[in-house]
A = this chain, B = another copy of it.
């Protein structure tokens, strides 16, 4: 049904349309790409492609435009991910290397990706799931209050102010801290609940109410932050692009963590480079998303990607996303 030439025509249509943003006609196609056939022949192929649903025309007597299905075929079979230039790679590396902490890594990554792709970049904070406890700190604020600080090996720091049920003096807090660290140091976050389960029983009776309060806050912190924060950058790049769905919807989605999370992709194939085109997306039918997992080695941490109009340069975008993911994974592994 789709011979070699028809595929070449589809590829040419996608490439031309992406670069010109105008429906592309048979004549221009036959000229610009050396297809070695006449416009009339191209027209026949286009008719076939339209029949199959890969392209469509906005109105009679206009050129053709790829459909979501057309883009899908293009991405799957007709294009190759375009690697970045050496200069770009170097720029990424030096830019990311300057990060001072995890927050900074994420911020730099999202900006970098936005600038590189000229799209909206989205980065999910690494999840704590696979992290291990590096240190637990209890800081007395006054007689009835302590601050709990949890530091993980990924450089993440969580803090909570805790209201205690009764006055507790500093030496008791210090003791509890020592016990906590002895129990948890180096342990995976997911194993924390079972490790602390019997902890109150190992303490003097009078410390138990406070310990109980503190532990419940600790556990709460773990589950609450399980689904992580997501940040974005490059919203200004939306101003030029035209979305079939309103610009407003896109901006709203960007500020809605839950929606963003679903767009980035459920974690069914966490590490793969995935492309979702137009109507393949759960919300935001008019946009495409190129995303991939990142993180160090088998310790898959989170996802990042970009969001843009379906009419985007997929090979280049995919190359940029993949490259950035690799570099940021490296950085995270090293720290």
Q: Are A161 and B248 in contact (CB under 8 A)?
A: no
Contact with B along A251-272 (1 / 0, CB 8 A): 1101100000000000000000
A150-175 contacts to B, CB under 8 A, are 151, 153, 155, 157, 159-161
B239 touches A254 (CB 8 A): no
| Chain B neighbourhood of A7, CB < 8 A | none
Nearest CB to that of A233 among chain B residues?
B255
Interface size class of A (residues with CB under 8 A): 20 to 34
Cα–Cα distance between A134 and B111 once the two chains are bound (Å): 33
How distant is A214 from chain B, measured CB to nearest CB, in Å? 14
How long is the Cα–Cα vector from A284 to B213 in the complex, in angstroms? 50
Chain A interface main SS type: mixed
Taken residue by residue from 207 to 251, chain A's Cβ proximity to chain B (1 for < 8 Å, 0 otherwise) reads as 000000000000000000000000001111011100000111001
9-residue interface stretch from A8-16, A39-47, A84-92, A135-143: A135-143
Q: How many angstroms between the C-alpha atoms of A36 and B149 in the bound complex?
A: 67
Q: Is the CB of A155 within 8 A of B151?
A: no
Does B160 lie within 8 Å of A139, measured CB to CB?
A: no
Contact B149 A151 (CB under 8 A): yes
Q: A134-B141, A151-B139 are in contact. Are A335 and B234 (CB under 8 A)?
A: no
CA distance A157 to B153 in the complex (A): 17
Q: Is the CB of B134 within 8 A of A137?
A: no
Cross-chain contact of A159 among B153, B155, B238, B239 (Cβ < 8 A): B155
Q: Is A2 an interface residue (CB 8 A)?
A: no
Residues on B with beta carbons closer than 8 Å to the beta carbon of A135: 137, 139, 147
Contact of A251 among B100, B159, B239 (CB under 8 A): B239
Q: How far is the CA of A44 from the CA of B109 in the complex (A)?
A: 60
Least distance between A177 CB and chain B CB atoms (Å):
11
Measured between beta carbons, the chain B residues less than 8 angstroms from A137 are 135, 137, 139, 149
**Which of these, B134, B159, B234, contacts A101 with CB under 8 Å?**
B159
Picked from B101, B235, B240, B247, the residue with its CB within 8 Å of the CB of A255 is: B235
Scoring A235, A254, A255 by chain B CB atoms within 10 A of each residue's CB, the highest score goes to A235
Complex Cα gap A111–B160 (Å): 21
Nearest CB on B from A116, distance (A): 15
- Whether A247 contacts B239 by the Cβ 8 Å rule is yes
User: Which parts of A81-126 form the interface with B (CB within 8 Å)?
Assistant: 100-101, 111
A147 close to B151 (CB less than 8 A): yes
**B157 touching A157 by the CB < 8 A rule?**
yes
Interface pairs (7), CB distance under 8 Å: A134-B141, A157-B157, A157-B159, A161-B335, A233-B255, A234-B255, A235-B251
With A101-B161, A111-B255, A240-B248 known, 17 other A-B pairs at CB within 8 A are A100-B160, A101-B160, A134-B141, A134-B147, A135-B147, A137-B137, A137-B139, A137-B149, A147-B155, A149-B149, A157-B157, A235-B255, A236-B251, A236-B255, A239-B247, A239-B248, A239-B251
Q: List 5 tightest A-B contacts by C-beta distance, closest first.
A: A239-B248, A236-B251, A236-B252, A135-B139, A235-B251
